[in-house]
Structure 1
Amino acid sequence: MTLLASSESDVSSLSMGQRFFDEREDQSEVKARIVSKYFVVWAKIIAPKARTKRIGYIDLFAGPGRYKDGSASTPLMVLQQAIADSELRENLVTYFNDEQPEHTKSLAAEINALPGIATLKYAPQISTGNVGAEIATHLQSTSLIPTFSFIDPFGYKGLSLGLVRGAIKDWGSDCVFFFNYNRINAGISNPLVDQHISALFGEERAAQLRIAVKGAEPVKREALVLEQLAQALKALGGRFVLPFRFRNENGTRSTHHLIFVSKHVLGYEKMKEIMAKESSTHDQGVASLEYSPADASTPLLFSLQKPIERLGAELLDAFAGRNIPMLQVYNEHHVDTPFIKRNYKDALLELESKALISAGRAKKAGSFADDVVAIFPPKPKA
């Protein structure tokens, strides 16, 4: 796994795990687009600042390279983007693994068949093996080059806080992982998989979660699970956690999430913008941060939420009595919300149109630039 070490010295290959690849569904396509889009954005920001100019991409559950319908999966999409970019051709080091030998054999063949693959300075590395404690320990104990990691297990085997900690601990390193809510939700109350659940949430949080979810309604149960996961990730150094939900074909329940983890707010902002564009619904310009095949037939359910009005009310409360530039409003408020910068401009414009706030200087009609000061009235006296 030479891409993971910050020096040029070789390290031994490690065992890792599996990912089941079947027909490429629309959800798989959305997931692959989110990961590959963020990879390009991340690489453009990190590569010029990297000490050795090398950056890494690892996929621990890489699969055979193509889905059964012939479409490219994430490893091929990332490599195609690297081949097309002169800088990435010179500085990207890639590492792919899968548990199943037939998958890695197929992946190697697909990679070798990519036009221009020989132009990459660093040939892709491919291994076959299980993801377990060994790889988590290696990642945590080795100084890594800046690396974007995609951890995409079929269930929860191999996924652990230790693995994520190792993936994000070094400068410039971010991680996205597949969170199979269906299987993990069932596993929380199953003593036969206590070890896996504890590895994912931590023993103390897992114990608390098992008690908290008893008798909880499905929506509340999901919120509790995601909150405990987010808190566990933040505790290990992932200050910014962003989930993207996928629902079943009827839109009636969650099936899985894509969880992004970063130590830097810029990565969080960039990923939220990407996830917003990939969301299946938007209300007043606010993205749902989820993909549901049924959304197109039930748009009214989301539109009733009126998120810009809700955001405006939150801002009136949070910034009461302050005179503050729009950009500072955004920076102080947006973390752990679904809102992007454009939403804050819209909310401030809405408040201004209702004379609930005023602007500190002349500005263009219909806009609220980053440096325009929003003047919030004090809270009314009780």
Structure 2
Amino acid sequence: MLAANLLEAVQGNPLANDPFFDEQLDQSDTKARIVQKYFYAWAKVITPTAKQMNNKIGYFDLYAGPGRYKDGSASTPLLVLQHAIDDADMRSMLVTMFNDADENHSSSLQAEIDALPGIETLKYKPDVLCNEVGEDVEKFFTETKLIPSFTFVDPWGYKGLSLKIVNGVIKDWGCDCVFFFNYGRINAGLTNPKVRSHMDALFGKERVDALQIELKDKTPEQRERIVLENLSRAIKEMGGKYVLPFRFRRGNRTSHSLIFVSKHFKGYEIMKSIMASESSTEDQGVASLTYSPADASTPLLFSLAQPFDKLLKDLPEVFAGETLTMREIYEQHSVDTPYTDKNYKEALKQLELAGTIKTDPPAAARKKNTFANHVKVTFK
């Protein structure tokens, strides 16, 4: 039944007491905006090519929820569908699949979808499922060729979240994923033998063994860096070339993260720009890629890392003796850093002014205070 329902939704042809939906807190609102902004931007990039294929794009949510928070505000599934109703291309192309293991959630979501004005104008009726996310779902996504799609995986804890699911939903052309990483619970779970199978599914057995040794006697800050680094490595080993986390902090602790995964730099670039705009603080013009009300209220305490100064120092060292365009520098250096193209352009303008680099065309021949992607840079 699961495979048949999913197959119809995505091919070319226990959360009942979940407090998340009680109200849309600031952090939940930020998470929803990031997902929605990326989906809309992703769709614009993918649509022209998808029209030449089978004229379909997909949005899949494996833990969709009831459709509305208890304060009445619409959650992401309804907002995505409303956007599709209002967009001519999406009305005729978008295939959606919303799943939730809680029958109350899935039936509520179905009723909310049915009540959306204009829902009948969508070419493909939204598919609402009620299934546990486990080995059957892993097998389906691993073995099924998907249409270009964006998948959101947002479990409350860690059950159902696995490397195989992440790899399965991004393996085909045009497929990206964002998943919710409950750092607080997973950090505790890494040393809890009762949930070892879930940790193995997420990190891999050998990596969990190594993590249990590496994490001993580490500070909370060190543990967080180690856990996220190992998660990123595990994803990349399975095909997710670009991995980008956005952290949510309560006080001085990370509670959870959104993890973006893509095989293409363009998606990585778009998502980094969105996450930068949603960051609560920035340091020297470099976004924190973090949402933290505490940081936002005390910006002078946010960071002493001076990340832009580090970029100014790194570029002449990394590219010494080389000649590259601004875009080539950005694509080669920015992965696994918080820097956006705006940061690189500003850094290169300052290095040019200092005489550290030579440019073609030089500043005098360009429009004032600009640094286009095609400008060639020679590092001394």
TM norm structure 1: 0.93
* Residues 1:368 and 2:375 are matched in the alignment: no
**1:80 aligns with one of 60, 78, 82:** 82
2:324 corresponds in structure 1 to 324
1:268 is displaced (CA, Å) by 0.7
2:10·2:95 contact (CA, 8 Å) conserved in 1?
no
Q: Tell me the secondary structure at the aligned position of residue 22 of structure 2.
A: coil
Query: Where do residues 70-149 of structure 1 align in structure 2 (5 Å cutoff)?
Result: 70-149=72-151
Question: Which residue is equivalent to 1:194?
Answer: 196
1:310–1:181 distance in 2 versus 1, CA, 3 Å: same
After TM superposition, give the deviation of residue 81 of structure 1 in Å.
0.9
More helix as a share of residues = 2
Deviations 1:319-357 (A, max 9, x none): 112232212211211111111101000111122233322
Return closer, same or farther for 1:214/1:4 CA change in 2, 3 Å cut-off.
farther
Q: CA deviation at 1:281?
A: 0.9
Aligned to 1:209: 211
SS of residue in 1 equivalent to 2:257? strand
Within 5 A, what are the aligned runs for 1:228-377?
228-248=230-250, 250=251, 252-302=252-302, 304-360=304-360, 361=362, 362-377=365-380
Q: How far apart, CA to CA, are the structure 2 residues paired with 1:357 and 1:146?
A: 41
* Mean Cα deviation higher: 116-125 or 367-376: 367-376
Deviation at 1:103, TM superposition (A): 0.7
Q: Which amino acid in 2 is paired with 1:359? A: T
8 Å contact 1:3–1:145 — kept in the other structure? Answer: no
Name the residue aligned to 1:12: none
Q: TM-score, with normalisation over the residues of structure 2?
A: 0.93
Task: Kindly tell me the number of residue pairs found equivalent between the two proteins.
Answer: 368
Listed as ranges, the gaps of 5+ residues in structure 2 are 1-5
Higher alpha-carbon deviation: 293-302 or 87-96: 293-302
SS of corresponding position for 1:177: strand
Question: In 2, Cα distance between the equivalents of 1:144 and 1:348?
Answer: 41
Task: Provide the C-alpha distance between the structure 2 equivalents of 1:350 and 1:308, rounded to a whole number of angstroms.
Answer: 11
* Shift in alpha-carbon separation, 1:65–1:5, aligned structure 2, 3 A: closer
Structure 2 distance, partners of 1:149, 1:331, is 25
Partner of 2:3: none
The percentage of counterpart residues that share the same residue type is 56
Whether contact under 8 Å (2:10, 2:97) holds in the other structure is: no
Deviates more, 1:195-204 or 1:20-29: 20-29
Partner of 2:11 in structure 1? 6
Aligned residue identity for 2:379: F
> Mean Cα displacement is larger for which, 84-93 or 142-151?
142-151
Would you say the 8 A contact 1:6–1:144 is kept in 2? yes
Does 1:61 pair with 2:63? yes
Shift of 1:304: 3.1
Are the equivalent residues in 2 in contact too, given 1:4–1:142 (CA < 8 A)? no
What is the aligned-residue RMSD (CA, Å)? Answer: 1.5
Partner of 1:227: 229
Q: Kindly provide the amino acid, as one letter, of the partner of residue 287 in structure 2.
A: A
Relative distance call for 1:203 and 1:346 in structure 2 (3 A) is: same
User: Shift of the alpha carbon at 1:293?
Assistant: 1.0
**What is the distance in 2 between the residues matched to 1:332 and 1:259?**
21
Do the aligned residues in 2 keep the contact of 1:58 with 1:148 (CA within 8 Å)? yes
Displacement after TM superposition at 1:80 (Å): 1.0
Separation in 1, partners of 2:238, 2:197: 19
8 Å Cα contact 2:265-2:331 kept in structure 1:
no
